[in-house]
Amino acid sequence: MRPHPIEPEKLKVLESLPTPSFVIDEGRLISNLKTLSEVQQLSGCKVLLAQKCFSTFAMYPLIGRYIAGTVASGIYEARLSHEEMGKENHVFAPAYKPEDIEELDNICGHIVFNSWRQYGLHSPRCKNASLGIRINPEFSTQNHAIYDPCSHGSRLGVRISQMPDDLPERIEGFHFHTLCEQGADDLERTFMAFESKFKKYFPKLKWLNLGGGHYITHEDYDRGKLVSLLNYIKDQYGLQTYLEPGEAVVLNSGYLVSEVLDKVSNGIEILILDASAACHCPDAIEMPFAPPVYGTDEDNGKYHYRLSSMTCLAGDKFGDYDFIEPKEITDKVVFEDMALYTMVKTNTFNGMSLPGIYVLKEDLSVETVKKFGYGDFKNRLG
Ligand SMILES: *Cc1c(COP(=O)(O)O)cnc(C)c1O
């Protein structure tokens, strides 16, 4: 992915921070939130932050000013939203623990079950929440099996063959989530497949949650198509729609700033950084993808480096990059698009430190959210 330009004054501030650090770019976050808020206004849809992607709750008051609330993957995220945002709080998990249900029912307005057995086990103890069931529309539009809930053998959602003729009385909504970094075309095709199989149930429903994976704030996303589809669902079926993007909320709104500690060569020049893909951006290894890096240019960059880490894991690398300028020891390396699926996934493998978390304001002042140290490594282990 190509890096976005960073203004020189902004870069100077980023490079002045201790390393490694995550920095949230408030201006870029606000710009995403404005786009999402506009989708809400044009369609009547409610947009929820998927907290599994981004849970840096220092930003929740800001996020809550623009979108309707959050979705949680379980009790901890649900509590975090209740405590730190206090707006709509939805939860979906493949299974719930019996001891969590009462609290979830008290703090979540919407609870989505993954199977009829889960619904049967837990719904009698739900007194307040609106209940829904996750559907597997059995319609794949992507090739990443690890992110495809419609893949063969998926445990996620109820298939049409498992639907009763009449919906259980308490079910007020359907939920499906099948996309990952995808456009409105794929959503439209998925909705049409879902509609043709499941529409006989729609008259009994109040709401429909179309999940996440919508790349709404990406420059190529067709928001007009999304808004038309949402309006069609509202007008044709009278359903309140929800979208629960993670990535789209914080797309391109964060950096990971690191420092070059050493330079070694072995057929290729390798920079050893104080940041780690394995510890600070596991998706770079799991997905895998190479995050954009400031100062690189795959067409014109003349300095080829592998960006690697001070851990002892041989495969701990972010990727191979072409830099425009040479890099030396003590230079900074700034990874971009580092707000999503990073801070929520960090770990202290190899005794690595957790990057500090900072917010870069629009006036280029910096707010410290949290610094971490040895205690954060030790306390988790005993
Ligand atoms: C992961 C997930 C999301 C968010 O997905 P993004 O790709 O980050 O937009 C939303 N809903 C569910 C059920 C998810 O599992």
Compute the distance between CA of residue 66 and CA of residue 327 in angstroms, rounded to an integer: 40
The answer to whether residue 18 scores a pLDDT higher than 90 is yes
Ligand 1 geometric centre to CA of 143 (Å): 16
The answer to whether residue 63 scores a pLDDT higher than 90 is yes
Nearest alpha-carbon partner for 246 in 60, 47, 96: 47
Name every residue whose Cβ is closer than 8 Å to that of residue 51 and which is 6 or more positions away in sequence.
70, 71, 72, 73, 77, 80, 81, 246, 344
Average pLDDT over residues 35-52: 98
Compute the distance between CA of residue 87 and CA of residue 60 in angstroms, rounded to an integer: 10
Compute the distance between CA of residue 248 and CA of residue 217 in angstroms, rounded to an integer: 5
pLDDT per residue as tens digits for the range 99-121: 999 999 999 999 999 999 999 99
Phi, psi of 360 (to 5 degrees): -95, 115
* DSSP-derived secondary structure letter, 340: T
Nearest CA to ligand 1 atom 10: 212
pLDDT per residue as tens digits for the range 313-342: 999 999 999 999 999 999 999 999 999 999
Ligand 1 geometric centre to CA of 164 (Å): 27
Geometric angle at alpha carbon 306, from 304 and 310, rounded to 5°: 145
Mutate to test the pocket of ligand 1, among 53, 179, 216 (most ligand atoms within 8 A of CB): 53
The answer to whether residue 67 scores a pLDDT higher than 70 is yes
Per the CB < 8 A criterion, the answer to whether 340 and 181 are in contact is no
Alpha carbon distance, N-terminus to C-terminus of the chain: 40
Atom of ligand 1 nearest to the CA of 175: 13
Average pLDDT over residues 194-204: 98
Residue with tokens 């901890």: 76
Phi, psi of 274 (to 5 degrees): -85, 5
Cβ–ligand 1 distance for 52 under 6 Å, the answer yes
Ligand 1 geometric centre to CA of 144 (Å): 14
Compute the distance between CA of residue 150 and CA of residue 141 in angstroms, rounded to an integer: 9
Atom of ligand 1 nearest to the CA of 245: 9
Cβ–ligand 1 distance for 132 under 6 Å, the answer no
pLDDT at 8: 95
Ligand 1 geometric centre to CA of 270 (Å): 34
Query: Distance of CA 333 to CAs 90, 255, 292, Å?
Result: 38, 10, 11
**Count of H helices and E strands in the chain?**
12, 16
Per the CB < 8 A criterion, the answer to whether 107 and 79 are in contact is yes
User: Quick one: tokens of 200?
Assistant: 């006989």
Give the DSSP per-residue string, 21-72.
EEEEEHHHHHHHHHHHHHHHHHH--EEEEETTT---GGGHHHHHHHS-EEEE
pLDDT per residue as tens digits for the range 249-288: 999 999 999 999 999 999 999 999 999 999 999 999 998 8
Per the CB < 8 A criterion, the answer to whether 91 and 112 are in contact is yes
User: Quick one: tokens of 328?
Assistant: 């030396």
Radius of gyration of the chain (CA): 22
Ligand 1 geometric centre to CA of 53 (Å): 7
Ligand 1 geometric centre to CA of 73 (Å): 9
Compute the distance between CA of residue 203 and CA of residue 189 in angstroms, rounded to an integer: 21
Name every residue whose Cβ is closer than 8 Å to that of residue 200 and which is 6 or more positions away in sequence.
none
Burial of 325: CB neighbours in 10 Å, binned 0-12, 13-18, 19+: exposed
Would you call 261 helix, strand, or coil by DSSP? strand
Cβ–ligand 1 distance for 92 under 6 Å, the answer yes
Compute the distance between CA of residue 373 and CA of residue 356 in angstroms, rounded to an integer: 9
**Helices 184-198 and 223-237, packing angle to 10 deg:** 20
Average pLDDT over residues 344-369: 98
Cβ–ligand 1 distance for 215 under 6 Å, the answer no
pLDDT at 1: 64
> To the nearest whole number, what is the mean pLDDT of the chain?
97
The answer to whether residue 145 scores a pLDDT higher than 80 is no
Mutate to test the pocket of ligand 1, among 175, 177, 179, 210 (most ligand atoms within 8 A of CB): 177
Query: Distance of CA 378 to CAs 256, 311, 352, 357, Å?
Result: 23, 17, 11, 19
Cβ–ligand 1 distance for 74 under 6 Å, the answer no
Nearest CA to ligand 1 atom 14: 212
- Whole-model pTM above 0.75? yes
Atom of ligand 1 nearest to the CA of 248: 9
Nearest alpha-carbon partner for 139 in 89, 197, 76: 197
Nearest CA to ligand 1 atom 3: 212
Per the CB < 8 A criterion, the answer to whether 273 and 258 are in contact is yes
